[in-house]
Chains A and B, each alone.
Chain A
Amino acid sequence: GESVGLHLPTLSVQEGDNSIINCAYSNSASDYFIWYKQESGKGPQFIIDIRSNMDKRQGQRVTVLLNKTVKHLSLQIAATQPGDSAVYFCAERSYNTDKLIFGTGTRLQVFP
């Protein structure tokens, strides 16, 4: 299948371990953040989002943490499974625009 990123940073984890994927954003005016998962040759899939008035949000096996002081966002995946292997990228939206700005992504590889 097609590769969405040939030179992306890669995180390799063992099946069953927890994964932490990080994202730094630059705009202190950003008030909304999203994590997407993209498998090879497919469109991005929404995972979880968070607003700037929150520090943490949990979904099914995923947690997003937002540190506004250092402009850092992280995605934690619990009990990582082979099906979690994909490229993950964050997106931010500034409160005074209607556009999302996307990061370049991190490739997650899960090995048995």
Chain B
Amino acid sequence: DGGITQSPKYLFRKEGQNVTLSCEQNLNHDAMYWYRQDPGQGLRLIYYSQIVNDFQKGDIAEGYSVSREKKESFPLTVTSAQKNPTAFYLCASSIDLATSAQETQYFGPGTRLLVL
């Protein structure tokens, strides 16, 4: 059963705590993305990765960090430096844009992060 999985569905963060959101895909996609979704706003790009061991900052990278050690995994860490982390976080993947015309991004089910 192919697709993108995110865990957990809900995550609670205490003040000053770092938390990590998981994203896994078995679609053999090269590129992976993290977005943040706030009510009434479009998706905003946090980080993206087009190949293993490489990633680039998106539009709102401050307070976040990522790693891409494996093709199928792209975890996102929300650090204590992110002062307003409450949001719905979405992971997506796509076939590599540099070598394919298929730019379509497919999304996971999302993780809702709440601050205690």
Contact = CB atoms under 8 A, between A and B. Distances in A.
A99 B40 contact: no
B107 interface: yes
Q: By DSSP majority rule, is chain A's interface helix, strand, loop, or mixed?
A: loop
B8 interface: no
Which of A5, A49, A99 is packed against the most chain B CB atoms within 10 Å? Answer: A99
A53 B25 CA distance: 31
Give the interface size class of chain A.
Answer: 20 to 34
Interface of A: 2-8, 32, 34, 36, 41-46, 49, 89, 91, 93, 98-105
Closest 9 CB pairs of A and B: A43-B107, A102-B42, A102-B43, A98-B97, A6-B39, A7-B40, A44-B107, A43-B109, A43-B110
Interface of B: 4, 6, 31, 35, 37, 39-43, 45, 48, 50, 58, 88, 90, 97-98, 103-110, 112
